[in-house]
Amino acid sequence: MVKRDASDLAIRGGRPAFDRRLHVGEPNIAGEARFLERARDLLQRRRVTNRGPFVREFESRIADYAGVRHCIATCNATIALEITIRAAGLSGEVILPSWTFVATAHALQWQEITPVFCDVDPRTYTIDPARVEALITPRTTGILGVHLWGRACNVEALTEIARRRGLTLLFDAAHAFGCSSGGRMIGGFGEAEVFSFHATKFLNSFEGGAVVTDDERIAKKVRLMKNFGFSGRDRVTYIGTNGKMSEIAAAMGLTSLENIDEFLAANRANWRAYREGLDGIRGLSLIEYDGREHSNFQYVALEIDENRAGIARDALLEVLHAENVEARRYFYPGAHRMEPYRSHQPHAGLLLPVTERIASRSLSLPTGTAVSPADVEQICQIVRLAVAGGPLVPAMATGGCLS
């Protein structure tokens, strides 16, 4: 097979396919008038933070949506993870996948807990339960599963291992608001789960997160810890931090929640358009979503087998960038290859062959309400031509449209 690189394919002299840059993670925004009305309300009542009415309403709506008893809104998911890990009493070592955003590992390391990286299942890219047990040592106190890209990890198997080995089970559900596992909504699994409502997420509150749990004890601790440990006006019961969500963030979160069906429809339509547009291209495999589960279709992840596609992931990335498609290499190179983990555990990669392979092959493509199925069709044509080594230049030079 002839190897090609981006220099053969990138557009020279012609206009890029898109006049504007298409990003992975452009926020889903809707209900502008309603948001501005809420913004006016909060200014008028001069209640801008510290569990005001919007935050309380947001917590109650999120708890309902996820089918859990407790929801504690936070300023972001990273702080929410840190607080939850502390509230659940984790220490020593905690097992998690390396194939995640580095915040998952940082939330442990920040509290001087050693993240022990586990390889992922090659089919789902989520933590491989079959490999978890070999990593358990006398210092292990918990497992931190990650629901990746709008798909749940293997909750059932992890729950069984945690129960049998007496470990605490938490989930990073940053990508999984609105998703289910075994027909049950993400939120109530393990001791607690954490959502992200960052701007780039399916449902956004600008910055934001939430701890959701059915465990009264954890909920109580998290609530105190995210407010400096205050349990009364002049009474502090735990070491705490400032993890509070602001009223303006909750106003955005509530508005986003009212428009969630629109976000879901856009993501689903885009994913279907990708599936159709990339169908049959050799060496590419697109993330699949299980039709029996709820999903937010939040990430469109692609795996590129260079030997079959004839183009390497990074070369394809360059082609897409040249066409104004800001695809991303989430989560290259894997948390274990980032500092401080890379220095602390220089040989971790030896136990992570699947993660290492995916890290060199995975690409995330733009979706969300800022991207239309027609945009997707055009992105797919770029990919198709790049893989086939087709004549990109003339098409671009005649007005930026591939068809």
Footprint of ligand T4K on this chain (CB under 6 A)? Answer: 23-27, 76-78, 100-101, 103-104, 146, 172, 174-175, 196, 198-200, 209, 326, 330
Which residue, 197 or 271, has its beta carbon nearer to ligand T4K?
197
Alpha-carbon distance of 139 to 399, in angstroms, equals: 62
Distance CA 391, CA 394 (A): 6
For residue 107, what is the DSSP state? H
Give the 3-state secondary structure percentages of the chain, helix then strand then coil, rounded to 5.
40, 20, 40
Q: Which CB sits closer to ligand T4K, 100 or 180?
A: 100
Q: Which is nearer to ligand T4K, 27 or 92 (CB)?
A: 27
Return the number of the residue (4 or 226) whose C-beta is nearest ligand T4K. 226
**CA 337-142-112 angle, 5° bins:** 55
Residue 368 Cβ vs ligand T4K, minimum distance, rounded to whole Å: 9
Give me the torsion for CA of 218, 224, 229, 235, rounded to 10°.
-120
Give the number of other Cβ atoms within 10 Å of residue 340's Cβ.
10
CB 164 within 8 A of CB 225: no
Residue 61: exposure state from Cβ atoms within 10 A (0-12, 13-18, ≥19): middle
Helices then strands, counting H and E runs in the chain, come out as 16, 16
User: Minimum Å distance from CB 388 to ligand T4K?
Assistant: 27
CB of 79 to ligand T4K, least distance (A): 7
- Beta carbon of residue 101, minimum distance to ligand T4K (angstroms, whole number): 3
Q: Which residue is nearest to ligand T4K (CB)?
A: 25
Closer by beta carbon to ligand T4K, 140 or else 364:
364
Count of all residues that appear for the chain in the document: 403
Name the minimum Å distance from CB 46 to ligand T4K.
Answer: 27
CA-wise closest residue to 170 among 108, 245, 102: 108
Q: Would you say 4 or 198 has its CB closer to ligand T4K? A: 198
At its nearest, how many Å lie between ligand T4K and the CB of residue 61? Answer: 18
Compare residues 340 and 346 and give the one whose CB is closer to ligand T4K: 340
Q: Are the CB atoms for 141 and 94 separated by under 8 Å?
A: yes
Q: How far is the CB of 125 from ligand T4K (least distance, A)?
A: 12
Whether omega before 138 lies within 30 degrees of 0, making that bond cis, reads no
Q: State the minimum distance, in angstroms, from the CB of residue 59 to ligand T4K.
A: 16
Distance CA 93, CA 264 (A): 37
Q: Which is nearer to ligand T4K, 11 or 174 (CB)?
A: 174
